[in-house]
Each structure stands twice: as structure tokens, then as C-alpha cells.
Amino acid sequence: MQSGHKSGFIAIIGRPNVGKSTFLNRVLGQKVAIMSDKAQTTRNKIQGVFTEDDAQMIFIDTPGIHKPKHRLGDFMVKIAEQTLNEVDMIMFMINADEGFGKGDGYIIEKLKNVKNRPVFLVINKIDLIHPDDIFPLIEQYRHMYDFSEVVPISSLEGNNVSQLLSILKNNLPCGPVYYPEDHITDHPERFIISELIREKILHFTKEEIPHSVTVIIEHIESRNDGSLLIQAAIITERKSQKGILIGKQGSMIKKVRKQARHDIERLLGQKIEIELWVKVQKDWRNRKNYLHEYGYKQDDY
């Protein structure tokens, strides 16, 4: 271990849609976690690695804590809660524009069971409120929990993000370099590719469809011209949803493919071709065998 080197694991926790993924992507400088205005976007713990000469921060973007409505929701909440006792520090992120919600009270009760770990209140989206409105918000949350520090930021605009990183770094324990310096996530490329495709579906669809969809990469093949062929299945729950996802004369699936190809080419730095098709697996979010097959695995789940 380098002399004086600091490192540690930092959980980012909060209600759905407070900007956890936006923060992670800003810090890492590229898209690792998918972003959407739909709640409960993140379904697995996504680990992002930020490395400097004298420190390494491993951020864990957890699924938003919410009241589960199906087995997939149970899985997401259990993953988030388990993370609290597996890390060195916790960032509790709230949305400045929405203020206190019942979900925040639930999370604070969970935080009271966490021992000997600093917890930082991160007030995100301050670009959406008047500066004078931040102080009452800070007071309200400070009355509920003894946070190590409170840091207002805007992940989208970048306001105070570097200050937050400095505060986190100062509180890191001494530790080794866990990952090579060019390593930004522990997820394999297949996972990131599937998430980028799912992000486009979230962007273009509405109501129940975004939540009933998962994406499975079935085949990746290098071609002689240096390009990559990616074949992926979009899994949904009902035939009517399949029709919407394909769109009139294939219009929806073409839009998803075009936008996803752009992001994946940037990620991989090479030309790609994507083949997409839609499969119906009835009620997959409530069926344990499908959840395991699609990568939502947990020993006690």
C-alpha cells in the first residue's frame, strides 16, 4: 500500500429519482449508471471507481429505496439496505426541489441502525430552488439525524461537486488501491450495454412500460471490419407492451436502436451494429426463476 494513500467504499442512497446516477456519471466523466426521469431506474448496485494519485473512492449507486410492489422491488430495496453496512461512508442524497418526503423518513430510520460510519447529507438539484430555501431544508434534516456534514450540490450543473469530493476524501480511511487507475466500474461491458439500451426505452416510453422491461444481451461478435455485432432481447410482460415497444412499422425499436448505438459506440470506441427483438415473459418481475435468469440474484432473496 502506498504511504498515506486513502481508499474506501461510499454508498449513495436516497429516494428514487434524486439524482444518484447523474452524480456518479458526472464524477466518473462518462455514463456508467443510466439516467431517466422515471423513478426506480437503477436496479442493481452499480459500482463506479474514482481514482486520484493519493486516493481511490469506490461509489456504489444503490437502487432508490421505495415501497416494493413486486419481487423485483423487494430485490431492489434489500440490495440498497444491505449496502449500508458494507461501506466506509454513506451519502444520503435528497432532492432540494421536492423537500422532505415519507421515503426520507424511512431511510433516516434505517440510517439510525448504522454504526461507526460517517453519513453525509447531500442536497442535490440546488439549481432548481432559490438559495434562501436551502437553509430551512438543512435545519429540517439536521433535527432528524446527526449528519457528519451537509453539502448542497447540483450534479447536473456541477455546482459544489468538487467540494463534496474533497470532503469525502478527507474522511476516507487509509487503504490500498483496489482497482487499476483506468478502471471505472466493476460491471462487465455486457451489463453497461444492456443498461444503455434500457435507458433509451425509459426515455421513449411511458406509464407501465419502462418498469416492466429488462434487456438481455444474447450475443456479441467481433467482425472482420473491426465493428461489433450486438444482439439483444427486450423482455416485457404483455403482448400489448410488445406492440408499443416495436412501434408502427418498427418505428419505436428503430429509435431505441439508433440512440443506443450512439452511446455504446462512445463507450467502446468502435463501430457497432445492434439487432433488437422483443420477447414476452408474463409477470417476469414476480417470478424468481426469471429474476435470477435476468441477473437479479441475491442469496437470501
Give Dmax over CA atoms of the chain in angstroms. Answer: 63
Q: Which of 141, 149, 95 is nearest to 119 (CA)?
A: 149
d(CA 77, CA 14): 11
Half-sphere exposure of 105 (CA within 13 A, CB side): 3
Residue 105: pLDDT over 80: yes
**Lowest-pLDDT range of 52-66, 217-231, 254-268:** 52-66
d(CA 82, CA 266): 33
d(CA 262, CA 31): 12
Helix (H, G, I), strand (E, B) or coil at 194: helix
- Quote the percentage of the chain above a pLDDT of 70: 81
Which secondary structure element, helix H or strand E, spans residue 48, and what is its range?
strand 46-52
Please give the angle made by the CA atoms of 74, 144 and 93, to the nearest 5 degrees: 55
d(CA 135, CA 119): 19
pLDDT of residue 39: 47
pLDDT, greater one: 203 or 301: 203
Cell of 82: 444491505
Contact 129, 99 (CB under 8 A): no
pLDDT of residue 265: 86
Cα distance between the two ends of the chain: 36
**Beta 214-222 vs 228-236: how paired, if at all?**
antiparallel
pLDDT of residue 91: 95
pLDDT band at 83 (very low <50, low <70, confident <90, very high): confident
Q: What is the mean pLDDT of the chain?
A: 82
Helix (H, G, I), strand (E, B) or coil at 153: coil
Question: Exposed, middle or buried by CB within 10 Å (0-12, 13-18, 19+), for 286?
Answer: middle
Per-residue pLDDT of 109-152, as tens digits, reads: 888 888 889 999 999 999 999 999 999 999 999 999 999 999 99
Place of cell 444520503: 92
Q: Which of 266, 274, 293 is nearest to 220 (CA)?
A: 274
d(CA 264, CA 115): 40
| All domains in the chain, ordered by first residue | 6-171 (3.40.50.300), 189-293 (3.30.300.20)
Residue 169: pLDDT over 90: yes
pLDDT of residue 44: 52
